[in-house]
């Protein structure tokens, strides 16, 4: 019997010792109380407490936490009632203040978020509320961080998850957005037509310029061809005249070398003048020294024509 009691006592002592050992995991903290008063804050590792006298009053998570609150009814400056729900990101920086600062920290943060949101939205109109989310988030984070600092809570970020205006306002906004989209579409269509017209006009302009350039080039080439033709005709005529004159000069030289007298040479010169005129000249200027011979030649020709019938 005595041995059994001893075993029971040893088991009880062992259980008490086991319950006195605490291991605090990573990113957590334990708040320790002795006889109902704050004793210490345990960090990560192995810890021992005095049985019965000391106890772990609160286990606190040091991780960043996210709380999604229900939508809150708020009224804007222009008296529009809407529903806004928020998300708060926070972490506990002081486990002691968190344990003893406020009775229910999450409920306190929710109520504080609602009142802060109403104060901020009350100074804004509907359009400003819908377009100023970043500013609202920043103001709420600053206000909540200051208010929760005595509770050992650090507010990291606040986000407006959803803004829900009344149904009538939503319908009006949708109509306005539809009208705006149609207006932008009309503007874009008009801009496209304008650019298309400009491009067509520029293309026609380029075509006219190219046609004018082509006509100009053709006229230049035609004039150049006509010029070349006239140059060749003139060169041909000059070459023909030079050939005739050369042949005449060669004939005269031949006659002279054959012993012909001056009268014959003179006659050959006259023939050369006649050929040079080629029947196209209306007037031939004969040197004075050849005029006598020319008269003599005419007289001989007339006498020959007169005597020829009698034969």
Instruction: Confirm if 264 and 251 have CB atoms less than 8 A apart.
Output: no
Q: Give residue 309's pLDDT band: very low, low, confident or very high (50, 70, 90).
A: very low
Q: Write out the residue range of the structural domain in which residue 43 sits.
A: 2-61
Give a three-class secondary structure readout of the chain: CHHHHHHHHHHHHHHHHHHHEEEECCCEEEEEEECCEEEEEECCEEEECCCCCEEEEEEEECCCEEEECCCEEEECCCCCEEEEEEEEEEEECCHHHHHHCCCCHHHHHHHHHHHHHHHHHCCCCHHHHHHCHHHHHHHHHHHHHHHHHHHCEEEEEEEEEEEECCHHHHHHHHHHHHHHHHHHHHHHHHHHHHHHHHHHHHHHHHHHHHHHHHHHHHHHHHHHHHHHHHHHHHHHHHHHHHHHHHHHHHHHHHHHHCCCCHHHHHHHHHHHHHHHHCCCCCCCCCCHHHHHHHHHHHHHHHHHHHHCCCC
Q: Which CATH number goes with the domain that contains 72?
A: 3.30.479.30
Q: pLDDT tens digit string along 6-54?
A: 887 888 777 877 778 888 999 999 999 998 889 999 999 899 888 888 8
User: Has residue 153 been placed in a domain?
Assistant: yes
Q: Are residues 38 and 96 both part of a single domain?
A: no
Q: Give residue 285's pLDDT band: very low, low, confident or very high (50, 70, 90).
A: low
Q: Looking at the 3D structure of the chain, how many domains does it have? A: 3
Q: pLDDT tens digit string along 177-211?
A: 788 888 888 898 898 888 888 988 888 888 888 88
Residue 162 φ/ψ region, left for φ over 0, alpha for ψ in the -120 to 50 degree band, beta for the rest = beta
Q: Are residues 44 and 100 both part of a single domain?
A: no
Q: pLDDT tens digit string along 57-105?
A: 899 999 999 999 888 888 888 888 888 989 999 999 999 999 998 888 8
User: Has residue 20 been placed in a domain?
Assistant: yes
Residue that is last in its domain, among 33, 61, 89: 61
Task: Work out the average pLDDT over 137-162.
Answer: 91
Counting every residue, how long is the chain? 311
Residue that is last in its domain, among 61, 86, 104: 61
Q: Are residues 86 and 153 both part of a single domain?
A: yes
Instruction: State the distance between the two ends of the chain, measured CA to CA, in whole angstroms.
Output: 205
User: Has residue 239 been placed in a domain?
Assistant: no
Q: Are residues 130 and 72 both part of a single domain?
A: yes
User: Has residue 253 been placed in a domain?
Assistant: no
């Amino acid at each position: 019997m005595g041995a059994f009691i001893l075993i029971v006592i040893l088991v009880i002592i062992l259980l008490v010792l086991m319950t006195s050992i605490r291991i605090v995991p990573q990113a957590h903290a334990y708040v320790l109380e002795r006889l109902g008063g704050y004793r210490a804050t345990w960090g990560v590792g192995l810890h021992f407490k005095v049985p019965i006298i000391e106890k772990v009053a609160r286990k606190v998570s040091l991780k960043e936490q996210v709380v999604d609150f229900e939508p809150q009814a708020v009224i804007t400056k222009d008296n529009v009632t809407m529903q806004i729900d928020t998300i708060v990101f926070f972490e506990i920086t002081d486990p002691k203040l968190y344990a003893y600062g406020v009775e229910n920290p999450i409920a306190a943060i929710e109520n504080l978020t609602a009142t802060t949101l109403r104060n901020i939205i009350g100074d804004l109109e509907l359009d400003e509320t819908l377009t100023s989310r970043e500013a609202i988030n920043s103001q709420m984070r600053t206000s909540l961080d200051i208010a929760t600092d005595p509770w050992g809570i650090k507010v990291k970020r606040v986000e407006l998850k959803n803004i829900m205006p009344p149904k009538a306002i939503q319908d009006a906004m949708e109509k306005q957005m539809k009208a705006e989209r149609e207006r932008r579409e009309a503007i874009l269509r008009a801009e496209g037509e304008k650019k298309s017209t400009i491009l067509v006009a520029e293309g026609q302009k380029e075509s006219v310029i190219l046609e004018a350039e082509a006509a100009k080039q053709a006229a230049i080439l035609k004039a150049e061809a006509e010029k070349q033709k006239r140059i060749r005709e003139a060169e041909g005529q000059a070459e023909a005249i030079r050939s005739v004159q050369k042949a005449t000069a060669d004939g005269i030289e031949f006659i002279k070398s054959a012993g012909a007298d001056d009268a014959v040479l003179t006659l050959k010169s006259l023939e050369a003048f006649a050929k040079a005129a080629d029947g196209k000249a209306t007037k031939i200027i004969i040197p004075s020294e050849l005029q006598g011979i020319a008269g003599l030649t005419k007289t001989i020709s007339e006498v020959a024509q007169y005597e020829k019938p009698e034969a």
